[in-house]
Amino acid sequence: MASQSLTISLIQSSLVWEDAEANRAQFEEKIAGITENTELIVLPEMFTTGFSMNPEILAEPMEGATAAWMRRVSQKKRAVITGSVIIKENGKYYNRLIWMLPNGEMGYYDKRHLFSYADEHNHYAPGEKKLTGSLKGWKINLQVCYDLRFPVWNRQPPEKENRYDILINVASWPDKRRSMWRTLLTARAIENQCFVIGVNRVGTDGNGHGYAGDSLIIDPLGNVIQDLGSEEKISTYTFHKEDLEQVRAHFPFLDDADKFLILT
């Protein structure tokens, strides 16, 4: 039987530009400072480097320093850790979200929609499959930044037994388009009748782009539960399954959705 609660911590942070060691150190300090009994810790997109188009000099192998760091910290904290990093595999570069379990096992999701406006598609290979994490009976759909703009990729599957409970998007979303970030997160929550977590960075990157944070937790009705604002902040929240079940039972809109199949 599924556990009825799940505690998740969001870390909204600035990043040291293209300095993996410094970023790992600062996140380790932040994670150690979480006093709540958290079960999942969410970091931003490319949390070791910032949103860089220099994978040739920054990429790590899948079993490189950052994966080893995530494994060690996850085991020590006894919590799942997730966030995306630059990975090289089979001669290609990926913006890869890693889902690290405390037992040392991990899954991954390669960002499907590459941000061509910033030339990401010319430096990284797109992902070809989704990743749904499972934690204490909760199903968690894992996405990266620009994926948020594509509702079909985020859409609940037609089969009720395959529906996810939480959508997590880790991002480097620029402050110039912050209203779109907030609107799209809300839309994804409403149309998929799920909790949505968006974790964005703050500060300014090496290219002079600013990030306003606006990390949010949104409920299945589109209400903002938590808003981390525009400063560095760590927030921990406990989700309750009955809140989700009540919304879906009272408003069974997903049962009327179109049937579809995504071809990759």
Among left, alpha and beta (phi > 0; psi -120 to 50; other), residue 203 is: left
CA dist., res. 188 & res. 180, Å (int): 12
Q: Which helix (H) or strand (E) holds 218?
A: strand 216-218
Q: Give the HSE-up count for residue 21: Cα atoms under 13 Å, Cβ half-sphere.
A: 0
Report yes or no: 174 and 147 within 8 Å, Cβ to Cβ. no
Question: What does the chain come to in residues?
Answer: 264
Q: Which residues are catalytic?
A: 45, 111, 145
Cα distances (angstroms) measured from residue 70 to each of 67, 192, 217? 5, 30, 24
Q: Round the CA-based radius of gyration of the chain to a whole number and report it.
A: 17
Cα distances (angstroms) measured from residue 201 to each of 143, 172, 230, 259? 15, 6, 9, 35
Secondary structure percentages of the chain, helix, strand, coil, to 5: 30, 30, 40
Closest CA to 17 of 26, 9, 7: 26
Helix (H, G, I), strand (E, B) or coil at 262: coil
Report yes or no: 12 and 215 within 8 Å, Cβ to Cβ. yes
